[in-house]
Amino acid sequence: MSAEKNMWLAGGVHGTQVQVRFGDTDPYGIVYFVSYFRYCHRAIEEFLRAVGLPPEETFKNVQEGFGLPIVEAWGRFRRPSKYGEVLRIETRVQDVRTKAVVFRFEFYPETGRELLAEGTATLVAIGSDWRARELPARVKAALLHKT
Amino acid sequence: MSAEKNMWLAGGVHGTQVQVRFGDTDPYGIVYFVSYFRYCHRAIEEFLRAVGLPPEETFKNVQEGFGLPIVEAWGRFRRPSKYGEVLRIETRVQDVRTKAVVFRFEFYPETGRELLAEGTATLVAIGSDWRARELPARVKAALLHKT
Amino acid sequence: MSAEKNMWLAGGVHGTQVQVRFGDTDPYGIVYFVSYFRYCHRAIEEFLRAVGLPPEETFKNVQEGFGLPIVEAWGRFRRPSKYGEVLRIETRVQDVRTKAVVFRFEFYPETGRELLAEGTATLVAIGSDWRARELPARVKAALLHKT
Amino acid sequence: MSAEKNMWLAGGVHGTQVQVRFGDTDPYGIVYFVSYFRYCHRAIEEFLRAVGLPPEETFKNVQEGFGLPIVEAWGRFRRPSKYGEVLRIETRVQDVRTKAVVFRFEFYPETGRELLAEGTATLVAIGSDWRARELPARVKAALLHKT
C-alpha cells in the first residue's frame, strides 16, 4: 500500500505530491537540486505501484532474474522552491523501448500550472549478469497500458 | 497544507505514516538508523502543523525572534524494517518545560501493534542571540492543548 | 582504503574530520541533527577500518554468519555548526560487552576544544537468524586492542 | 580548509575521492543514482575551494549580491559501484559563458581508468532579485585561470 494521498493516474499521467522537508534544502532554504532527483525516484515508485508493479519487486526481482537500474537522469530547475512548500509531480512514461523505459517528470506548485522543474530518468532492464536484456513482458505491458 | 494522508490527532497522540524509500536503507535493504531520525523530524513537522504551528514559522521565526532547535535525540531500533514497508509513527508531547519540549515517537508496522522503534527529541526555545529563552506563550499553549 | 585524510588512532581514540556539505544543514544553514548521526556512522566506519575491520565485511558478514546492526543511538547538540565548517570527530569504544559494543563520539571545531556535540551508538551482534549472539572473537579482539 | 585528501588540480582538471557510505546505496548495496549527484556537488565544492572561491561565499554571496544556483544537471551511470568502494572524481569546467558555468564530472575506480559514471551541472549567476546576471568578474577569472 502507499502512504501518499492526493495521487491519481489518468490518461497515462500519474500525479503525486511531496512536501519539502528539513534536510531537502540547501543552506539558504531553497530545494537542493539533489532532492529533486530523490523526489523523481519517489514518483517512479508511486507510478510503478499505481500500474501494478510493486517497486520492491520491480527494481530488483531475483525470482524472475531481472533488475531495472537507472542509467541516465536529467533535470532542469526553473524556479526555486522553499522549505515547507508542497510540490505536485506529474509523471509519465515518455518512451518504452525493447530494453528500456524513460520516465518524464514535471514539478508544479500545489496549486497553479507554473513549471518549477522538469526531468527524465532512463531505466534499463538487466539480467542477473548485469547485461541489458529485454524488458519482462508483464513489466512492458503494465508500462504501456498504464491507465 | 500537508501532503500526507492517514494522519490523525486524538488524545494528544498524532499518527502519520512513512514509506521506506530508496535511499532510506543500508546496503542490505534494512532501514538505516539515521532514517528513523529523519522520520522523527517529519513526524514533528506533521504534529506541529496539526496543532496550528506551521513548521516553517516555528523552527525559526524571525518576526517573533525565536527558534526551536533540536538539542538532544535518542532512538532504540527493535525490529528491522525493509524497503517498501509502510511504518506508522505515533507522536506525542512527552514533556513541556518552561524552555523546552520533548517529543516521543513510536514506530509500528502499517497494521499491527509490534513496537519496531522508539525515540525522543528535545527542542529548546532560543532567542535571536541563540540563548535559551521561555517557549513563546502561543507555542506552549498549542503544544499543551493539543487535541 | 580510506578516502579521508587527517585521521589518527592513539590511546584508543580515533580522530577523523567531516566537512559540512550542501544538504547537511537545515533551511537556515545550521547542521541538521540528523546529519550528526550520519557523521557518527562515518566515524564508526573509519574506526573499524583503522582497527583492521573493513566495514563492508563487518556490518554484515554472510560468510561468518554475523551482522552488527545499530540498536540504539543518542546525541546531544550543544553548539550550532554551519555550512562549510570542518568538524573533528573523536571516536572511542566506550564499552565492549559479550554481545554488544558501544561507541562514543565527540565533535569539536577543526581547531579548538569546545565540545560541539556528543553521542553514542550501540551495535549488537546478531546471527543470520537476527538473534543476538556473542561478538565474533576476532571482532571483539580488534575492538579491545585498538591502539 | 578542506577535510579531503588525495586532491589535485592540474591542467584545469580537479581530482577528488569519495567513499561510498552507508545511506549512499540502494537497498541492494549499489550506489543510488541520487548519490552521484550529491558527489558531483561535493566535487564542485572542492573545485571552487581549490581555485580560491570558498563555496560558502560563492553559492550565495549576500555582500556582493550574487548567487550561483544549479539550474540543470545530467548524469549517465555506466557501471555499478558498491558500498565501501572509493571513487575518484575528475572535475573540469566544460564551459564558461557570460552568465553561466558548466562543470563536467567523470567517476573512476580508485585505481584504473574505467569510466563508471559521468555528468554535468550548469550554474547560473543570479542577482539578489533571482534574475540572471553576468558572472562576477573575479568568479569568472578564477574559473578560467584555474590551474
Determine the average pLDDT of the residues in A44-72: 96
Which of B101-110, C7-16, C85-94, D12-21 comes out lowest in average pLDDT? C7-16
H-helix segments, D51-104:
none
At A4, the pLDDT band (50, 70, 90 cuts) reads low
DSSP state of C26: -
pLDDT band at C90 (very low <50, low <70, confident <90, very high): very high
The pLDDT assigned to B147 comes to 47
What mean pLDDT is reported for chain D?
93
Asked if residues D34 and D93 have their Cβ atoms less than 8 Å apart, the reply is no
Q: Which of C25, C31, C37 to mutate to test the interface with B (most CBs of B within 10 A)?
A: C37
**What is the C-alpha separation between A17 and A29, in angstroms, rounded?**
19
Strand, coil or helix: C99:
coil
Task: Dump pLDDT digits (tens) for A78-127.
Answer: 999 999 999 999 999 999 999 999 999 999 999 999 999 999 999 999 99
- Which residues neighbour B12 within 8 Å (Cβ) at sequence distance 6 or greater? B92, B93, B146, B147
SS3 B112: coil
**Regions of chain B where pLDDT drops below 70:** 1-6, 146-147
Q: What's the average model confidence in pLDDT over A71-78?
A: 98
How large is the ipTM? 0.94
Q: Nearest by CB to C22, which of A32, A82, A83?
A: A32
Interfacial residues of B (vs D; Cβ cutoff 8 Å):
22-23, 25-29, 32, 34-35, 82-83
Pairing of strands B8-10, B13-19: antiparallel
Please answer whether residues C119 and C40 qualify as being in contact, where contact means their C-beta atoms are separated by less than 8 angstroms.
yes
Q: Which run of H or of E encompasses B74?
A: strand B70-77
Q: Lowest mean pLDDT: which of A85-89, B141-145, C46-50, C96-100? A: B141-145
Output the pLDDT for position B71: 98
Tell me the pLDDT tens digit for each residue of C1-12. Answer: 455 556 777 778
Is the Cβ–Cβ distance between C22 and D43 less than 8 Å?
A: no
- C77 to chain B: which residues are within 8 Å by CB? 69-73
pTM score of the predicted model: 0.94
Nearest Cα residue to A93 out of A65, A72, A123, A69: A123
Q: Are D50 and D103 in contact (CB under 8 A)?
A: no
- Ramachandran angles phi, psi of B110, nearest 5°: -55, -45
pLDDT of residue D3: 55
Distance CA B135, CA D110 (A): 51
Residue D78 has pLDDT above 60, yes or no: yes
Distance CA C108, CA C92 (A): 14
Q: Is the pLDDT of residue A147 over 50?
A: no
Cβ-Cβ contacts under 8 Å for C25 (sequence gap 6 or more): A25, A26, A27, C31, C32, C35, C82, C83
Q: From the list C3, C38, C45, which residue is nearest D6 (CB)?
A: C3
